[in-house]
Amino acid sequence: MALSQTENVGLEASHQQPHIVTTVGEDEDYLKWKPGREELLILGCLAIVSLVVALDATILVPVLPTIASDLHGDTNESFWVGTAYLLSSAVFQPLFVALSNVFGRRSILFLSLVLFTAGTLICCLSHGMTQLLIGRTVQGVGGAGILCLTFVITTDIIPLRQRPAYSSIIQVAFVVGTVTGPVIGGLLIDHSTWRWVFYLNFPFMGVGLIMVPWVVNLRRPRQEGLTQQLRSIDWVGGLLFIASLSSFLIGITWGGGQFPWPSWRTLLPIFLGVVGIIITVFWLWKGARNPFLRLGLFRDVSSGMIYLCAVLQGLLMFCELYSLPLYLESPKDMSATMTGVALMTITGSLMPASVLTGIIITKLGHIRWAIWTGWVIITMSTGLLILLGNDTKTYAWVLIFLSVGLGHGCIIVSSSICVQALAEASDSAQAASMYTFLRSCGMCLGVAVGTTVVQNQLRYQLQIRHLPVEIAENAQIFIASLKNAKSSYSPSFIYGVNSARCGWGGLDCSTLSEARQYE
């Protein structure tokens, strides 16, 4: 794929005149480009803050039962502790990118760190689920800015052909945070209070708040006044999308749990969410002068299918990460620490699978095989999860968990490369940003869908066995009770959750025939 010239971005330092970093053309000796001290400091700073954002996405997975018990929350509320963070960190990403074009990367990244730190403080001081949910939402808003600006700043300072090599520094930091999150969370909850899950963020945020003003000295030349640039931001589209997706998720989470599916309290937010999303798409297509989401990236069937796979991959992965701890801590009678170690079997296999897939793609020059292979493995492994039960041997669930991680590892790297290969050279950065954004939306849906399926299936199975249905509404709190009811809990839970996941995996495989091969 040929390289193209990209927009000039200034890198200013207090001790020298601003110099320009540009993406070189194919006719230039781009292989001689090496990062300077400023670029390396920026990459190091971005790696630190990325690690914390990734850590917070998974560190609560084994801790949710204890938090729900301590703060007297039910299953829906405890899962919304994860959903609130993921939802806000997804839907605010385009808005932060637009704001950074007006106020600069450094200012908006610093604001994101302040918001994340403020949200962490609220979580530490929470004495009820409502306070905790507010804190997690503020954390997620800050995390949104950190996630998107990490990618944008990387594209600003690194030439296109060198980007995969140097951006891997940040990717490794993100994977380390994701991998170690459940283990650290389990260790903290077994040996201390759950509040240490949030106290842990402060040292990293302190480093970020000190380093960002010092090392991230980026500027983008302004062609218009501040007022004109603020008016150019698609506020209508952004607010419509945030409200619509939030409404849809609330309805999905309530269905069959807090309210029956036919209830107007369930159907109304789902209906309003769907209508709002349709209106948002129409606005982006016809009304917005500078749409916050670029519909041109979905110009053909291949691009649309890959983006759809991004949503579904995020949905499947976080549905598994947030639902399997109930199986591990109750039927398998694991501690929070061992639950984190068990989940590390999934997340820990992601990194080597991603690296190996990237190397093979580079050698062969083809990518479609990796997408097919990844989704076949994911579909088979989620189907095998149905076999999990009270008497499942350790080697059996370890092998199944490993296969889940391997499948997701293949998909993450291959789909990310594919969206850039399918886009125009000048749109590769926007295409990768769109992939990250839609995958984050899928993560939100995964937690919501996982909650709904677990609760509904558990309620049904408990009812036909003449056991208290309140366990379904408060599964996180009644982990201890569920340990004494393994035979009634485990089959119903596993069957319900993994039937849903197999359905999503099958839908993904059905889209792959439309993904063209990258040469």
DSSP letter string, 335-394: -HHHHHHHHHHHHHTHHHHHHHHHHHHHHH---HHHHHHHHHHHHHHHHHGGG--TT--H
Answer whether 13's CB lies under 8 Å from 21's CB.
no
**Considering the domain boundaries, does residue 512 fall inside one?**
no
pLDDT in the model for residue 22: 40
Please compute the mean of the pLDDT values over residues 397-414 and round it to a whole number.
87
**Among 463, 497, 512, where does a domain finish?**
463
- Encode pLDDT of 415-470 as tens digits: 877 777 777 766 766 777 788 788 888 887 787 777 777 777 777 777 777 666 66
Residue 384 has pLDDT above 80, yes or no: yes
Per-residue pLDDT, 32: 66
User: How buried is residue 335: exposed, middle or buried, by Cβ count under 10 Å (0-12/13-18/19+)?
Assistant: middle
In angstroms, the CA 497 to CA 328 distance is 14
Contact of 76 with 255, CB cutoff 8 Å? no
Lowest-confidence pick of 2-16, 257-271, 455-469: 2-16
390 and 256 share one domain: no
CA angle 468/473/478 to nearest 5° reads 70
Would 7 be classed as within a structural domain? no
- 13 secondary structure, DSSP code: E
> Which of the two residues, 454 and 24, has the higher pLDDT score?
454
Axis-axis angle for helices 37-58, 201-215 (nearest 10): 150
Same-domain status, 404 and 269 = no
Is residue 25's pLDDT more than 60? no
> Looking at the predicted structure, is the pLDDT value of residue 76 above 90?
no
Q: Based on the domain organization, do 143 and 189 belong to the same domain?
A: yes
Phi, psi of 333 (to 5 degrees): 55, 45
Q: Which of 438, 463, 488 is the last residue of a domain?
A: 463
In a shared domain, residues 49 and 124:
yes
pLDDT at 27 over 80: no
- 452 and 403 both lie in a single domain: yes
Of 70, 83, 101, whose CA–CA distance to 224 is shortest?
101
pLDDT at 118: 96
Q: Is the pLDDT of residue 502 over 60?
A: no
CATH number, domain of 81, equals: 1.20.1250.20
The four Cα atoms 446, 450, 452, 456 give a dihedral, to 10 degrees, of 160
For the chain, give the number of residues: 519
Predicted local confidence at residue 162, as pLDDT: 65
Separation CA 488–CA 484 (nearest Å): 9
Residues 69 and 178 grouped into a single domain: yes
Residue 67 lies in a domain: yes
Is 452 a member of any domain?
Answer: yes
Give the pLDDT of residue 158.
75
Kindly report the pTM of this predicted structure: 0.75
Q: Which residue, 252, 271, 291, sits at the end of a domain?
A: 291
Residue 55 located in a structural domain: yes
Cα angle 283-287-289, degrees, rounded to a multiple of 5 = 120
Domain match, 53 and 88 both: yes
DSSP class of 293: S
Estimate the crossing angle of helix 394-422 against helix 350-364, to 10 degrees: 40
Q: How many CB atoms lie within 10 A of CB 31?
A: 9
Q: Is position 169 within any domain?
A: yes
pLDDT band at 3 (very low <50, low <70, confident <90, very high): very low
pLDDT at 96 over 90: no
**CB-CB neighbours of 222 under 10 Å:** 12
pLDDT at 41 over 60: yes
- The DSSP secondary-structure symbol of 286 reads I
Residue 433 CA to residue 213 CA, distance in Å, equals 24
Say what the pLDDT of residue 223 is. Answer: 58
Question: Lowest-pLDDT range, 52-56, 267-271, 320-324, 371-375?
Answer: 320-324
Element (H, E) at 106: helix 105-124
Asked if the structure places residue 228 within a domain, the reply is no
What value does the mean pLDDT of the chain take? 76
Q: Give 187's contacts (C-beta < 8 A, 6+ positions apart).
A: 336, 337, 340
Are 252 and 306 part of one and the same domain?
no
Question: Which one-letter DSSP state was computed for residue 517?
Answer: P
**Rounded Cα distance, 361 and 354, in Å:** 11
Overall domain count for the chain: 2
Q: Are residues 182 and 266 in the same domain?
A: no
Q: What is the pLDDT, as a whole number, of residue 16?
A: 34
| SS3 label, residue 19 | strand
Domain that includes residue 241, residue range: 234-291
Q: Six-digit token pair at 269?
A: 């937010």
Residues 159 and 76 in one domain: yes
318 and 410 belong to one structural domain: yes
The answer to whether 369 and 381 have CB atoms below 8 angstroms apart is no
Most confident of 171-180, 186-195, 219-228, 447-456: 186-195
Q: Tell me: do 254 and 140 sit in the same domain.
A: no
Q: Is 4 inside a domain boundary?
A: no
Structure-block tokens of residue 220: 């983008």
pLDDT in tens, 102-111: 788 888 999 9
Contacts of 437 (CB under 8 A, 6+ apart): 90, 93, 94, 148, 293
Across 185-210, b (16+ Cβ under 10 Å) vs e yields: bbbbbbeeebebbbebbeebbebbee
- Among 142-151, 219-228, 270-279, 462-471, top mean pLDDT goes to 270-279
